[in-house]
Structure 1
Amino acid sequence: MPVLQTANASRKPTDFDSIRIQLASPETIRAWSQGEVTKPETINYRSFKPERDGLFCERIFGPVKDWNCHCGKYKGIRYRGVVCDRCGVEVTQVKVRRERLGHIELAVQVSHIWYFKSLPSRIGALLDISMRNLERILYYESYVVIDPRGAPVEKLGLLTEEELFEIQEEGGDPEVEMGAPAVKRLLEEIDIEELSAELRTLVRMESSIQRKQEALKRLKVVEAFRQSENRPEWMILDNIPVIPPDLRPLVPLEGGRFATSDLNDLYRRVINRNNRLKKLINIKAPEVILRNEKR
């Protein structure tokens, strides 16, 4: 994704020549963000004010009233730009709630579904792994070999718990991992320029039509990364951007009920699971429970 810029009064929304969509690094997402969303709550249903650190937090996204902080200490345009020392809300206009982003810092890395499930799988093409095997790694069903270390296994080979135990019993000690962190580590090791050159050579030299077509498919993905200057490991997410609250509003209805965007429910589910996983990690829960929660 392109680097975001806040709205500027001197520029019109139509002042652009083109739009380019690309991957965003974890650092870029953090740079966009005004703060981390850590609670799944939206508003307090008694006061109807946004909950602190929640999905509508004024400290992160801006005030719900022009030139008013959350606690009421600062009111009026004369305090423009002041950050309240009590509630942490900047005194500014409500319209910033249409442009300010937050983020969710994930307890464990996850794969972006577009690059894992879409055909052809971009992650699978770069690592030369079938979608079924990639699924087994990402869903914590099998280990992937990072470094054989002299053991009778190949790099990128898959091992079950039992197979790994047998190898270790025989004295082998391969370096293995599972889940999105393992895939991210493998993607970080890829030299795009070198892989592009290897695949070009393979396409020229290969006599088998099927293998040549497979190499061309991989080369297409590699070239897209090379030309866009994106890094493959950015397909594995360390954090998730949270879009501005006014783009996913909470609308009051008759009888004290609220209509809400589906996005808020999706964000809430992510935050709840993320917080639950953090607690399990902190209390050192058994690995089998952690894996089940990470899936």
Structure 2
Amino acid sequence: MIDQYKHQQLRIGSVSPQQMSAWAKRILPNGETIGEVTSPYTFCYNSDKPVIGGLFCERIFGPIKSGICACGNYREIRDKKENPKFCEQCGVEFVDSRIRRYQMGYIKLACPVTHVWYLKRLPSYIANLLDKPLKELEDLVYCDCLFARPVVKKPTFLRLRGSFKYEIQSWKYSIPLFFTTPRFDTFRNREISTGAGAIREQLADLDLRIIIDYSLVEWKELGEEGPKDNEWKDRKIRRRKDFLVRRMQLAKHLIQTNIEPEWMVLCLLPVLPPDLRPSIQIGGGKQISSDINELYKRVILRNNALINILNTGRYAPSDLVMSQEKLIQEAVDTLLDDGIRGQPMRDGHNKVYKSFSDLIQGKEGRFRETLLGKRVDYSGRSVIVVGPSLSLHRCGLPHEIAIELFQTFVIRGLIRQHFASSIVVAKSQIREKEPIVWEILREVMRGHPVLLNRAPTLHRLGIQAFQPILVEGRAISLHPLVCKGFNADFDGDQMAVHVPLSMEAQAEARLLMFSHMNLLSPAIGDPISVPTQDMLIGLYILTSGNRRGICSNRYNLCSRRNHQNERIYHNNYKYKKEEGPFFCNSYDAIGAYRQKRIHLDNPLWLRWRLDQQPISAREAPVEVHYESLGTYHEIYGHYLIVRSIKKGIRCIYIRTTVGHISFYREIEEAIQGFFRACS
């Protein structure tokens, strides 16, 4: 088992047959070596016990129940007496049953088998190293063609033919005798090779450093030739140069990781621990088993058949041997990656078998779901909903999630403030949901950020920090402006919440990961927190006032006089002077809207501060209205100035709507809050 405290990283790659054997083999206290799986069967039908030497053998993978051997004898695991640590009758060690989760076995293959990942996956590593077409290698691996070995200073078929060159009759009668001679197998095995064994021989003869040197020389020669007049030749040269670069990179990586090329051909096939490919018995004598067990069974059956053929003697038909080797190669291919060579293998119910590749790849594979996607402590998950009243750096956590995430902090707060005498009492108060619990929870959350994450986390904005607050319901509330960074929307998306525990993690969350610190895209620098959808519609409604005339609905609260005359300006624009509301401040305007005296988009006149005059020096008034007391009103495009007899400014009114007032009040409060936070 891998010690998580000694090993902080995990590297996946090819291993040597010796390393596979070291992982799977074990030596019993009596000196017997175990680990090889020889039987394709799993359980005995009459006793429901694992078959000895099978895929669930207790001698190889350990006992099913801790401290109980296959015979049913029990012994304490930590017994320090001189009694043997294994049963002398069945050979099962008295160890913890958890060993069946990591103890491996192995199948000793009767013939070498090419690993389908290195052969069929693109780019093909074996084809790149050998510099041969993939189709040619596939024909060789699946025994559809033969490979002639280079033989020097030894009798060959060609030399034999040369000795009978001028004696046609002797050649005609001698060749049948030669092919039926007892030593013909020696000549055949020495000069002709096929299957994965031929690939292994060629890979073993490679020198990776020489491959790098030769490939570099050829790449430079192709670069010195320059462009040709023929476009097809230029394209061919570019493809060759790209291939040489990939070949050099592959050889370099193999050297750096200390991987030998011949390890891409398997002589030993590892067998997964039983708990990773379970077989469960259900009612009625039926059994549910993992698809991996059926695929292992298929490999063992074909491997045992080839062993029996080879053990019959040296006169076994070569065609039969090659056919059986091809079957073993296909069985191992199906085990490792079903369907990579065409039609996948199916069971009796026409269901595709799940191979080893299917177990580890994809969203539901071993890595993404079990290892990377497993639920950790101090974390929760829920659906997100919009929180329009939240600040950009805040998020809303339901009471149920918050009390679970911060339970240990709440317990410490209850004990420190003498509301609970022990941990048991504090947990009891939390279960009963006493009011003091929520007060302490709010105090804890006030100084503790949380991390929100939405899968898949494709960039740094996929996980951001927020200041949590308590909200009602069971959903996480989120500010709509941060949705673009998460690529989230409110149609049922879920997000995970995590609590940073260490002071370093909390400092990093506050300084680098808070949502208001990530307003720009790290990729292109564009703003990432921009309004969309509902926010744009709301802004449009707030700012789309009734603009049917600059003097529309004009109403003077002081004189109460109605003006119903019209005027055509020089640009043929008609203005109506009608009664319109005047307000001294924004609070009166919003109060009138809440009392339904005016609508959200009705134009109104709002008194403005004299020190912020919206006057343009070049702008001329649209209209001038004179009052009986000598005062007069200068009406401009978007504001109105009331002047005295001496032409002094008495007050200024701007033309706006309740929607504009609400919108700019929110902006002003946000700016003031920002300055208060900075100060």
Q: What TM-score do you get using the length of structure 2 for normalisation? A: 0.38
Identity %: 36
The structural deviation recorded for 1:251 is 1.1
Query: What residue is the counterpart of 2:304 in the other structure?
Result: 275
Q: What is the total number of aligned residue pairs between the two structures? A: 274
2:270: which partner in 1? 241
Paired residues of 1:56 and 1:245 also in contact (CA < 8 A): yes
Residue matched to 2:147: 144
| Gaps in structure 1 of 5+ consecutive residues | 1-5, 152-163
Which of 205, 218, 221 is 1:205 aligned to?
221
Given candidates 169, 174, 177, the residue that maps to 2:161 is 169
CA contact (8 A) 1:111 1:180 kept: yes
Which residue of the partner structure matches residue 199 of structure 2? Answer: 183
Q: Matched residues in 2 for 1:183 and 1:54: separation?
A: 30
Measure, in 2, the Cα distance between the counterparts of 1:58 and 1:111: 30
Is residue 215 from structure 1 mapped to residue 244 from structure 2 by the alignment?
yes
The alpha carbon displacement at 1:166 in A equals 7.2
Aligned to 1:57: 57
Aligned CA distance change for structure 1 residues 111 and 167 (closer, same or farther; 3 Å):
farther
For 1:109, the aligned partner's letter is P
- The partner residue of 2:98 within 95, 98, 104 is 95
SS of the residue corresponding to residue 147 of structure 1 reads coil
- For residue 156 of structure 1, what is the aligned residue in structure 2? none
Superposed displacement of residue 278, structure 1? 0.3
> Is the Cα contact below 8 Å between 1:105 and 1:240 reproduced in 2?
yes
Name which of 318, 325, 340 aligns with 1:294. Answer: 325
Residue 123 of structure 1: aligned partner: 126
Deviation per CA, 1:72-118, whole angstroms, max 9, x where unpaired?
34533355770222111100111111110000000000000011111
Kindly indicate whether residue 18 of structure 2 is the aligned counterpart of residue 27 of structure 1: yes
Deviation, structure 1 residue 24: 1.0
1:35-84, CA deviations, whole angstroms, 9 ceiling, x for partnerless residues? Answer: 00000111112211111000000000000111111113453335577022
- Which one of 251, 259, 280 corresponds to residue 251 of structure 1? 280
**Bigger relative CO (Cα 8 Å, ≥ 6 apart):** 1
Cα distance 1:109–1:290, how it changes in 2: closer, same or farther (>3 A)?
A: same
Preserved contact between residue 97 and residue 245 of structure 1 (Cα < 8 Å)? yes
2:136 matches 1:133:
yes
Counterpart residue identity of residue 289, structure 2: T
Partner of 1:38: 38
Residue 167 (structure 1) shift: 8.1
Deviates more, 1:173-182 or 1:262-271: 173-182
Aligned mates of 1:253, 1:72 — CA distance in 2: 22
Aligned residue in 2 for 1:160 = none
Q: Using the TM superposition, give the Cα deviation of residue 220 of structure 1 relative to its aligned residue in structure 2, in angstroms.
A: 2.4
Residue range with higher mean Cα deviation, 213-222 or 99-108? 213-222
Aligned pair partner of 2:85 in 82, 87, 99: 82
> Which shows bigger deviation, 231-240 or 78-87?
78-87
Distance 1:77 1:29 in 2: 28
Contact 1:67 1:79 in 2 (8 A): no
1:78 to 1:118, Cα distance in 2 relative to 1, 3 A: closer
Give the alignment partner of residue 209 of structure 2, picking from 188, 193, 212: 193
Question: Structure 1-normalised TM-score?
Answer: 0.85
- RMSD between superposed Cα atoms in Å: 2.4
Q: Counterpart in 1 of 2:568?
A: none
Contact 2:60 2:105 in 1 (8 A): yes
Displacement after TM superposition at 1:293 (Å):
0.8
Amino acid in structure 2 at the alignment position of 1:244? P
Q: Distance in 1 between matches of 2:78 and 2:243?
A: 65
1:104-123 equivalences in 2 (<5 Å): 104-123=107-126
- Aligned-partner residue type, residue 273 of structure 1: R
Question: Is the alpha carbon distance of 1:251 and 1:73 closer, same or farther for their aligned partners in structure 2, counting shifts above 3 Å?
Answer: closer
Distance 1:7 1:236 in 2: 26
Task: Give the greater-gyration-radius structure (CA).
Answer: 2
Cα deviation for residue 235 of structure 1 reads 0.3
Residues 149, 175 of structure 1: 8 Å contact kept = no
CA gap 1:209/1:167 in 2 versus in 1, 3 angstroms: farther
Quick check: 1:184–1:233 contact (8 Å CA) kept in 2?
yes
Q: How far has the Cα of 1:176 moved from its partner? A: 3.1
- Residues in 1 aligned to 2:251 and 2:118: alpha-carbon distance in whole angstroms: 13
Aligned to 2:524: none
Q: Secondary structure at the match of 1:90?
A: coil
Cα deviation code 1:221-256 (max 9, x no counterpart): 222212211000000000111011011111111211
Which whole-Å CA distance do the structure 1 matches of 2:292 and 2:301 have between them?
14
Partner Cα distance (1:123, 1:168) in 2: 35
Say whether 1:224 aligns with 2:227. no
Answer whether contact 2:77 2:96 (CA < 8 A) is retained.
no
